[in-house]
Amino acid sequence: MIFIDACFRKPTPYTPVWMMRQAGRYLPEYMAVREKAGDFLTLCKNPEMAAEVTLQPVDIIGVDAAILFSDILVIPLEMGMALRFEKGEGPIFDDPIRTPEDLARLRGDAAERLTYVYETIRIVRDRLAKDKALIGFTGAPWTLITYMIEGRGTKTYNIVKKLIYTRPEMVHALLRQVTDVIKAYLEKQIEAGVDAVQIFDSWAAALEKPKYLEFSWAYMKEIAAHIKAKYPHIPVIMFPKGIGAYLDDIDGDFDVFGVDWGTPMALAREKLGDRYVLQGNMEPCRLYSKEATRECVEALHEIMQGEGHIFNLGHGILPDVPVENAKYFVDLVHEITRK
Amino acid sequence: MIFIDACFRKPTPYTPVWMMRQAGRYLPEYMAVREKAGDFLTLCKNPEMAAEVTLQPVDIIGVDAAILFSDILVIPLEMGMALRFEKGEGPIFDDPIRTPEDLARLRGDAAERLTYVYETIRIVRDRLAKDKALIGFTGAPWTLITYMIEGRGTKTYNIVKKLIYTRPEMVHALLRQVTDVIKAYLEKQIEAGVDAVQIFDSWAAALEKPKYLEFSWAYMKEIAAHIKAKYPHIPVIMFPKGIGAYLDDIDGDFDVFGVDWGTPMALAREKLGDRYVLQGNMEPCRLYSKEATRECVEALHEIMQGEGHIFNLGHGILPDVPVENAKYFVDLVHEITRK
Tens digit of pLDDT for each residue in B258-305? Answer: 999 999 999 999 999 999 999 999 999 999 999 999 999 999 999 999
- Of B165, B208, B262, which is closest to A245 when you measure between CB atoms? B262
The residues of B that are catalytic are: 21, 25, 34, 71, 147
Nearest-by-CA chain A residue for B267: A245
Whether A25 is catalytic is yes
pTM of the complete model: 0.97
| Polymer length of chain A | 339
Residues of chain A neighbouring B286 (CB-CB closer than 8 A): 165
Residue B321: per-residue pLDDT: 98
CA B269 to CA B280: how far, in whole Å? 11
**Residue B220 falls inside a structural domain:** yes
Do B262 and A166 lie within an 8 Å CB cutoff? no
**Would you say A84 and A53 are in contact if contact means Cβ atoms under 8 Å apart?**
no
Give SS3 for B90.
strand
Q: Does B264 touch chain A (CB under 8 A)?
A: yes
Q: What is the DSSP string of B241-274?
A: TT-GGGGGG---S-SEEEEPTTS-HHHHHHHHTT
- Chain B: closest CA distance from residue A69 (Å): 22
**Residue B282 falls inside a structural domain:** no
Here the ipTM equals 0.96
Q: Convert the pLDDT of each residue in A257-273 to its tens digit.
A: 999 999 999 999 999 99
Sign of CA dihedral B302, B307, B311, B316: negative
- Chain A: closest CA distance from residue B253 (Å): 24
At residue B87 the predicted structure's pLDDT band, cuts being 50, 70 and 90, is: confident
Res A89 pLDDT > 90: no
Residues of chain A neighbouring B213 (CB-CB closer than 8 A): none
- Chain A: closest CA distance from residue B233 (Å): 33
Mean pLDDT of B308-314: 98
**Residue B35 falls inside a structural domain:** yes
Q: Convert the pLDDT of each residue in A102-126 to its tens digit.
A: 999 999 999 999 999 999 999 999 9
Give SS3 for A66.
strand
What angle, 0 to 180 degrees and rounded to 10, lies between the N-to-C axes of helices B290-304 and B323-337? Answer: 30
Would you give the DSSP letter of residue B38? -
**Residue B193 falls inside a structural domain:** yes
Whether A71 is catalytic is yes
**How many residue pairs bridge chain A and chain B with CB atoms within 8 Å of each other?**
77
Q: What radius of gyration, in Å, describes the C-alpha atoms of chain A?
A: 19
Res A20 pLDDT > 90: yes
**Residue B331 falls inside a structural domain:** no
Res A153 pLDDT > 90: no
User: How high does pLDDT run on average in chain A?
Assistant: 97
**Residue B110 falls inside a structural domain:** yes
Write the CATH number for A299: 3.20.20.210
Residue B154: per-residue pLDDT: 87
**Residue B61 falls inside a structural domain:** yes
Q: Convert the pLDDT of each residue in A161-202 to its tens digit.
A: 999 999 999 999 999 999 999 999 999 999 999 999 999 999
Beta bridge partners of A85: A91
- Structural domain tally of chain B? 1
**Structural domain boundaries enclosing A261:** 2-337
**Would you say B246 and B223 are in contact if contact means Cβ atoms under 8 Å apart?**
no
Do B285 and A165 lie within an 8 Å CB cutoff? yes
CA A304 to CA A299: how far, in whole Å? 9
Residue B339 or residue A40, greater confidence:
A40
3-state DSSP helix/strand/coil percent for chain B, to nearest 5? 55, 15, 35
CA B140 to CA B185: how far, in whole Å? 12
